[in-house]
Each structure stands twice: as C-alpha cells, then as structure tokens.
C-alpha cells in the first residue's frame, strides 16, 4: 500500500492499531515518552502498556509530532478524549491538506459535549473525519485473536480505502456511514460497563449482569437515536458488540473501575492505581448533561454518575434502580 500512516498516541490501543496498520502500510507513531519510543524502535515492544506483546517490526516511533505526521496520508488520533483537542491543535500545522483524520477515542469532551469527529471538523475543517470503533480489547488483538471493528465515515469511498489500512487476517473491519451512532455507541457504553463492573464487584450474579447490559443497551440507544444515530447501529458492533465486550471482560478498564467500586474501594484510589484512562469516568457527567438536554431517561447512567460524582455507594445505586417503577420493557426503568 502506497499510503503513509501517522498515529498520535502511545497507549495500549493506539500502539495496537499502529502495529496493525504497519502490516499494511508504512506507519510512524508519536508517543510522549522517550522510553516508550525507544522500546518500540529497538525492541518492537511497548512494555508499559502491552507487556510481553510483540509489535510489527516495521513500526517506527518518535517523540516529534511533526515527524510522525508531516508526510502522512492518513492521520489516526489514538489519544484519550480529554486530551484530543490539545493534541490535534499541536498537530494541525503539520497535517497535509485534505488528509483523512480517524479517531480511536471512545469518549465525549467535557465542557463542550462534543464528539471527537466534531472536534476534528472544528479544528481541521475540510478534512474527512471518521472513527474506528467496536469490541476491540487491545491485549486480545495484539495477541492475534480474532476481532471485528467498524470504520465509520460519511464518505463511503474514503471508508472503503481506510478499510484496507486497518484490516488484517484476524482483524475484520466493516464500514458504516452512521458516524454519529458509531461514535456515541463507543462513548455511552463505558458508563454501562462501570455499572456492570459494580455489580460483579459486589457479588451480583449473571442474571444481574445480563439485565444491566440489556437495559443499558436500551438507554444508550434512546440517547443515541435522539442525537441523530440510527437504531440499527446500536444493535451492531459499535453498539451491542462493544457494550458486551466492555461489560464482561476483565481486560475492560471501565468494568475494572466498576468492579473495584463494587468491592468498596474509593474512586480516587482506583484512578491513581491505573496507568490508562477509563473514559466512562470522564464522560459520565457529559452523558447526563446530554440526557437532560435531549429529555432522555437514563437510570443506569444516572446511578453511575451519583457514585462517581456525588459519593453514593454501589448499594445506593442498586437500591435506586430497584425502587424505580416498572412498566413496559419499551419504557425507561
């Protein structure tokens, strides 16, 4: 492939995606840490975020944003949602005209309530903006286990070309033109994953987890459709697929946060122990603002918000859900 890929971000998912694209096209990634860059270039490893995993040997890394992207035909943003705007601002003068910019982040920006593609369109108007999303646990994918994802772009022609950039033998990539729905599915499911983890940590059973996932899918679909996503998107990889993986896997950061909360640990202690970002903690306040704005009831997300921001206990959260009135399954509750 003649395309050159520039990826910004040296965390677990960014590194995994860079290792995938390096199998198809020359790829250079940017990381803040010189130690991480040296590890990738010399050892083909990123021991900090992907211990024991072998990376594609042709992958190159640098601490210079300019060096990573100045010749790139595709820019991939592999940084957390709350850092996204600043990194793109730092990068924007080095991005060639009309180059597609693809987000890997699954979050919403606090303050503006913007999706990452909206930030791209604000900072770099005229550049095709898209998102790669789905049930993608980096440790499994870097180990070569089969997985599937979605590249969402408004322009089908560009999406079809980007499909070739990301797909490998065990990593299947589908296209979707519902950018809003795909992006919201990835952001909203993180809050439900915290709730599922809270139940697991508190000793709840499989029935409880199933109920949280199912009712959680219903509420994230309600908000996603109200904001312009298509219902069928939330039944696919970017919705249900991502939600299930994030709610059941011990590799999920958001579920892990919930699990430790369910065990009685304090949120600040949990966050301080983590080397990676759990986007649901950052985004749940934004989600509740959007729920109020669009007049959508999201009872599970509301109880997670109260635990994360109001100091409620996990027991308070489940008591609040149980006490809600019951009606039709099609209704909130």
Which sequence positions are flagged as catalytic?
A: 189
Tokens matching residue 160: 């079809």
Distance CA 19, CA 196 (A): 31
Judge whether 294 and 223 are in contact, CB under 8 Å.
Answer: yes
Helices assigned H by DSSP within the chain: 12-21, 34-38, 65-69, 81-91, 116-123, 138-142, 156-166, 179-201, 206-226, 242-248, 253-262, 267-273, 279-293, 299-309, 314-322
Helices assigned H by DSSP within 73-178: 81-91, 116-123, 138-142, 156-166
Distance CA 235, CA 238 (A): 8
From the list 59, 309, 115, the residue with the least C-alpha distance to 228 is 115
Tokens matching residue 229: 């996503």
Judge whether 262 and 199 are in contact, CB under 8 Å.
Answer: yes
From the list 181, 331, 299, 316, the residue with the least C-alpha distance to 261 is 316
């Amino acid at each position: 492939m003649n395309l050159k890929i520039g990826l910004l971000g040296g965390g677990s998912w960014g590194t995994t995606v860079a290792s995938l694209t390096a199998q198809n096209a020359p790829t250079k990634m940017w990381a803040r840490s010189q130690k991480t860059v040296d590890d990738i270039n010399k050892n083909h490893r990123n021991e900090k975020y992907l211990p024991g995993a072998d990376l594609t040997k042709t992958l190159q890394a640098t601490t210079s944003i300019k060096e990573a992207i100045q010749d790139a035909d595709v820019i991939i943003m592999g940084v957390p949602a709350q850092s996204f705007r600043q990194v793109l601002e730092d990068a924007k003068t080095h991005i060639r005209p009309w180059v597609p910019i693809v987000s890997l982040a699954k979050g919403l920006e606090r303050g503006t309530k913007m999706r990452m593609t909206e930030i791209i369109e604000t900072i770099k108007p005229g550049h095709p903006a898209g998102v790669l999303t789905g049930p993608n646990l980096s440790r499994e994918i870097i180990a070569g286990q089969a997985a599937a994802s979605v590249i969402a772009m408004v322009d089908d022609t560009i999406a079809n070309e980007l499909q070739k950039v990301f797909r490998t033998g065990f990593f299947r990539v589908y296209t979707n033109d519902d950018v809003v729905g795909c992006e919201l599915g990835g952001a909203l499911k993180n809050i439900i994953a915290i709730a599922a983890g809270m139940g697991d940590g508190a000793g709840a059973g499989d029935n409880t987890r199933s109920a949280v996932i199912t009712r959680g899918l219903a509420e994230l679909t309600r908000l996603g459709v109200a904001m312009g996503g298509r219902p069928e998107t939330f039944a696919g990889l970017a919705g249900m697929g991502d939600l299930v993986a994030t709610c059941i896997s011990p590799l999920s950061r958001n579920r892990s946060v919930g699990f430790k909360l369910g065990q009685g640990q304090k949120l600040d202690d949990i966050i301080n122990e983590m080397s990676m970002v759990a986007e649901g903690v950052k985004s749940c306040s934004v989600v509740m603002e959007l729920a109020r704005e669009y007049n959508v009831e999201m009872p599970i997300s509301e109880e997670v918000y109260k635990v994360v921001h109001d100091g409620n206990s996990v027991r308070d959260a489940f008591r609040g859900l149980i006490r809600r009135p019951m009606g039709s399954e099609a209704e909130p509750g």
